[in-house]
Amino acid sequence: MKKINIAIDGPSGVGKSTISNFISKKYGLKFINTGSFYRAVAYYFYEKYNKNLELIANEQFVLDNWKIEYISLDENGNVLLQNKNVSDKLRMDEISWWASYVSKYKIIRKQIVDFLQAYAAKNKGIIMDGRDTTSVVLKDAELKIFLWASPEIRAKRRLKQNKELGYSSDYEQLLNEIKKRDFQDMNREHDPLYKTEDSVLIDSTDLTFEQVTEKVSSLIDERVKDE
């Protein structure tokens, strides 16, 4: 199969990573989750400063104590923090929430976007997901998808996921956090979340995982045929 680059965008908790991971294995693509980079920054401060994530609310403190060189990618697209794979540490709700602070800082965003664009320029056959992937990070991708689902459905899915991972969560709290995150992502000053004109909208609110992957697969097959 001809290799193309695919960008999947959408709000928090919509299933971008789960869908992208499945598709990457089906088509032999390298999966990169852009949100993991911001979570890695948050996790760095979480670990180094005794779980005091409120420090991230101070932009100057973040800029003074962070270096993009701390991050790298392994051969499978996993994010390494100071050469250590921390992928399994980055999905905690508090890390995800505080990563939204990091993503507001223009210099941090530029560092990560530059890193990802340089990586994508050297490689073909990438599926990349994350907010602003279609509009900024991988804007020249052959296929762009904007994945959506209602906040209520996303909260239910996150509740189920956390339960399976052994985390205790409250539905109303999750729903509240998702709505706050949506507002923050859509209204931030730098690179806000939105659907680009050349992105295909897939509303997964009433769709099963299988139905979503079928739609994505169909779009990939069409793009590959056209290449």
> What are the structural domains of the chain?
6-221 (3.40.50.300)
Total Cβ atoms within 10 A of residue 190: 14
11 is in an annotated binding site: yes
Euclidean distance between CA atoms 105 and 59, whole angstroms: 7
96 is in an annotated binding site: no
28 to 3, 45, 175, 196, 220: CA distances (angstroms): 9, 34, 34, 26, 12
Predicted confidence band at 150 (pLDDT cuts at 50, 70, 90)? very high
**Residue 210: what are its φ and ψ, rounded to 5°?**
-65, -40
Q: What is the pLDDT of residues 9-18, one digit of tens each?
A: 999 889 998 9
192 is in an annotated binding site: no
Tell me if 196 sits within 8 A of 135, measured CB to CB. yes
216 is in an annotated binding site: no
Over 80: is that where the pLDDT of 226 sits?
no
| Residue 122, C-beta contacts closer than 8 angstroms, at least 6 positions apart | none
160 is in an annotated binding site: no
> For the chain, what's the residue count?
227
18 is in an annotated binding site: yes
151 is in an annotated binding site: no
The reported pTM is: 0.83
Over 70: is that where the pLDDT of 1 sits?
no
36 is in an annotated binding site: no
The DSSP-derived string for 139-184 is TT-SEEEEEE--HHHHHHHHHHHHHHHT----HHHHHHHHHHHHHH
State CA 143 to chain mean position distance: 17
Secondary structure (3-state) at 84: strand
Euclidean distance between CA atoms 184 and 157, whole angstroms: 21
Predicted confidence band at 227 (pLDDT cuts at 50, 70, 90)? low
Q: What is the mean pLDDT of residues 94-98?
A: 85
Q: What is the pLDDT of residues 104-141, one digit of tens each?
A: 899 999 999 999 999 888 888 999 998 789 999 999 99
12 is in an annotated binding site: yes
Q: What is the pLDDT of residues 30-46, one digit of tens each?
A: 999 898 999 999 999 99
pLDDT recorded at residue 195: 93
